[in-house]
Amino acid sequence: KNQVEQSPQSLIILEGKNCTLQCNYTVSPFSNLRWYKQDTGRGPVSLTIMTFSENTKSNGRYTATLDADTKQSSLHITASQLSDSASYICVVSARNDYKLSFGAGTTVTVRA
Amino acid sequence: SQTIHQWPATLVQPVGSPLSLECTVEGTSNPNLYWYRQAAGRGLQLLFYSVGIGQISSEVPQNLSASRPQDRQFILSSKKLLLSDSGFYLCAWSVRPGTQYFGPGTRLTVL
C-alpha cells in the first residue's frame, strides 16, 4: 500500500530561524514528489516538485531534498517569516497513476 | 492560464439537509477532476475522481455523491447531511499523472 508519513506533526519556531520537515514514503513505482503549502482555510499550493533524478530543488527560502534510495524527502525553510505559518504537505505520485498519496502534513507556526 | 473555482467558500448546514458544492475549471479541456475532504489535523482523503463527463469513481463508501454534467464542472452532493460530513472540501484537476492543482476549498459545518 502506498503511504506517506511526515514528521513532526507540528512545530513552533521563532521568526528568522530555520527548520526542517521530513517525509518518508513507500510509493512505488515512484514518479515524483511535491511539497505543498496550505494556509489555513485555503487550498494547497505547490512549492517544489522533484523527480527520481533530482536531489535538491529550491523555491526562494524553501529547499527540498530527495533521496530516492531511502525514499525520504525533506523541506528546509530558511530564515522563517510569519507568513510561513501554514501546513506543509508531502505528496507522492506513482508512475502512470493519476491518484496521489498524501502525507498528513506538518503544521508550522512562526512566532515573532 | 488555468483556474479552478469552488463555491461556496463556507457553508453551515443543519443535519439532514441536502448539499451541493460546485467546482469549475477554466483554461483546459478534458481534465481529470477530484473531490477531497480534509478533516482537522488529518491528511487529504480522496472521495471521488472523474476522467470524463458522466464518469465517476468513488473511493470510499459514504453519504456523498458526485456528478460531472459538463467537461469542466464537478459537483459534490448529499441528500441528507450527517455531522460527520463536516470538513474542508477541496476540488482538484489534472491533465497528466502526478500533478494536481487545487481549488480554494469549501468549509462545511454541519450542525
pLDDT of chain A, 112 residues: tens digit per residue: 779 999 999 999 999 999 999 999 999 899 999 999 999 989 999 999 999 889 999 999 999 999 999 999 999 999 999 999 999 999 999 988 888 999 999 999 999 9
| Contact assignment for A93 to B44 by CB distance below 8 Å | no
* Pairing between β-strand A86-94 and β-strand A30-38 as defined by DSSP bridges: antiparallel
Per-residue pLDDT at B98: 77
Does B98 sit within 8 Å of A100, measured CB to CB? yes
Report yes or no: A63 and A57 within 8 Å, Cβ to Cβ.
yes
Closest CA to B50 of B91, B87, B110: B91
Q: Output the pLDDT for position A10.
A: 96
Cis omega (within 30 of 0) for bond into A8: yes
Residue B40 has pLDDT above 90, yes or no: no
Rounded to 5°, angle at Cα B40 from B34 and B45: 25
CB atoms within 10 A of CB A95: 13
Collapsed DSSP state (helix, strand, coil) of residue B91: strand
* pLDDT attached to residue B38: 92
Least confident of A34-43, B25-34, B41-50: B41-50
Q: What confidence category does residue B96 fall into, taking pLDDT thresholds of 50, 70 and 90?
A: confident
State yes or no: pLDDT of B1 exceeds 90: no
- What is the per-residue pLDDT for A1? 76
Are the C-beta atoms of A92 and A27 separated by less than 8 Å?
yes
Distance CA B48, CA B43 (A): 16
CB contact under 8 A, A43 and B102: yes
Test A43 with B104 for CB contact under 8 angstroms.
yes
Grid coordinates of A73:
524527502
**Cell numbers placing B88:** 474542508
Residue A42, judged by CB atoms within 10 A of its CB (0-12, 13-18, 19+), counts as middle
Q: CB contact, 8 Å: A74 with chain B? A: no
Asked if residue A29 has a cis previous peptide bond (ω within 30° of 0), the answer is: yes
Interface contacts (A, B; CB < 8 Å): 52
